[in-house]
Amino acid sequence: DQQVKQNSPSLSVQEGRISILNCDYTNSMFDYFLWYKKYPAEGPTFLISISSIKDKNEDGRFTVFLNKSAKHLSLHIVPSQPGDSAVYFCAAYSGSGGSNYKLTFGKGTLLTVNP
Amino acid sequence: GAGVSQTPSNKVTEKGKYVELRCDPISGHTALYWYRQSLGQGPEFLIYFQGTGAADDSGLPNDRFFAVRPEGSVSTLKIQRTERGDSAVYLCASSLVSDSLPYFGPGTRLTVT
């Protein structure tokens, strides 16, 4: 039972355009969400996060939007750069449920930014 | 060291053998985690250490898997009687405390033939 779902295995965009990566979750206990970026042969690196008390968090070219009623979040990258090409993982955990150490990950979306 | 390190980076073993995977967390980090990433999947939680003790080992798939962290720093994940289904990338992460951001190592790719 996948509690965090990334339904698009891959996404291809042109350099300079917007990349939108989507994530859905089913567990209502999740109240903190993170996006990780992973290059081949490296571990996931933290990108941006959002707590359930917010609906938007922005950091430079990266913005995460959270729609709690729809149990949906998205990561926007504007403008996309070739160096953004990587696998992006959505992850969640329940801080209020006492499981703030245990991340549940989606399967990831491979983003390719074409020059 | 600057980040989480894991050794070996790659391990090939025969079915039925015993393997040990090592994780060196970031200095001073009290929390340590093991995750497993199978092909085409996201990382899945295995076990969490707070200091020397395993605070949550609910993600270990069965009793062939065991992990230790005897001095509250380096951790070893031990897999007995390996099976082909154990083939995956084993990721270690550490964080300053349990509710702070975890930093991941590069992983150990285990292949069981």
CATH number at residue A23: 2.60.40.10
User: Tell me, what's the pLDDT at A98?
Assistant: 67
For chain A (length 115 residues), average pLDDT per consecutive 10? 93 98 96 95 94 96 97 98 97 80 94 97
Residue B41 DSSP label? S
What pLDDT, on the 0 to 100 scale, is given for residue A2? 86
Q: Which of A101, A107, A108 sits opposite B48 (nearest CB)?
A: A101
Of B31, B91, B107, the CB nearest to A101: B31
* pLDDT score of B99: 76
Residues of B contacting chain A (CB within 8 angstroms): 4, 9, 31, 33, 35, 40-45, 48, 50, 55-56, 59, 91, 93, 95, 98-99, 101-107
DSSP B37-94: E-TTS--EEEEEEETTEEEE-TT--STTEEEE-TTSS-EEEEESS--GGG-EEEEEEE
Select the residue from B49, B104, B108 to test the A interface by mutation, using most A Cβ atoms within 10 A: B104
> What span, in angstroms and rounded, lies between the C-alpha atoms of B6 and B109?
10
pLDDT confidence of residue B1? 52
How confident is the model at residue A97, as a pLDDT? 66
CA distances from A89 to A47, A48, A106, B93 (A): 10, 11, 6, 15
Distance CA A1, CA B82 (A): 25
**Residue ranges in chain B modelled with pLDDT below 50:** none
Residue B56 to residue A101, Cβ atoms within 8 A = yes
Q: Measured between alpha carbons, how far apart are the two ends of chain A, in Å? A: 38
* Counted domains in chain A: 1
pLDDT value, residue A36: 97
Give the pLDDT score at A95: 80
**Nearest residue in A to B6, CA atom:** A43
Please name every residue paired with B5 in a beta bridge, in sequence order, or none if there are none: B24
CATH of domain B5-97: 2.60.40.10
Residue B103: what pLDDT? 93
Q: Which of A3, A94, A101 to mutate to test the interface with B (most CBs of B within 10 A)?
A: A101
Q: Do A106 and B42 touch (CB under 8 A)?
A: yes
Name every chain A residue with its beta carbon within 8 A of the beta carbon of B36. Answer: none
**Residue-range definition of the domain harbouring residue A78:** 4-114
Minimal CA separation from B109 to chain A, in Å: 9
